[in-house]
Amino acid sequence: MTDLDLDFLRTAIAVAWRAREHGNHPFGAVLVDANHQLVLEAENTVVTERDLTGHAETNLVRLASRRLTPEELAGCTLYASTEPCAMCAGAIHWSGIRRVVYALSEEDLYAIVGASPDHLLLPCREVFAHSGRPVQVDSAAMALDAEARAVHDGFWR
């Protein structure tokens, strides 16, 4: 994990704050190309778009797949404020993005949110383990724990 990775994760967390301010769930994602340039960002739009698939990472993949070639996508890194869910991991797999970095783990998120039958506890690493394309997954959970949790404070209860 580099300082640059941490900076991009902080950008994803800032996007999550914007999602919350816009009335959506507090999740954000950014896409960075092989030259370490920020290409796109997307926030969660589940509430405002009335689309249950409007997760930040899925929104980002939709945008990216329209703008970038498969070769460009393969060189990108997706930074997420929170570990991608199984649906988002599937979208990342189909996009061909080869690296994912997240701040807050899915397990830590569910500890904040509380028990719910709506949870699908399936870490993205497990989804990617069944992918024909290698996807590198890194977490900065320890380094950015307080910042990653803060965007969720008071939101879920």
Is 57 considered catalytic here? yes
Count Cβ atoms within 10 A of the Cβ of residue 101 and give its class: 0-12 exposed, 13-18 middle, 19 or more buried: buried
Is 120:85 a contact under the CB 8 Å cutoff?
yes
In sequence order, what are the residues at sequence separation of 6 or more whose Cβ sits closer than 8 angstroms to the Cβ of residue 3? none
Q: Which of 41, 57, 83, 147 is catalytic?
A: 57
Q: Residue 38 contacts by C-beta under 8 Å, 6 or more apart in sequence?
A: 8, 11, 30, 31, 32
CA 95 to chain centre: 14
The set of catalytic residues is: 57
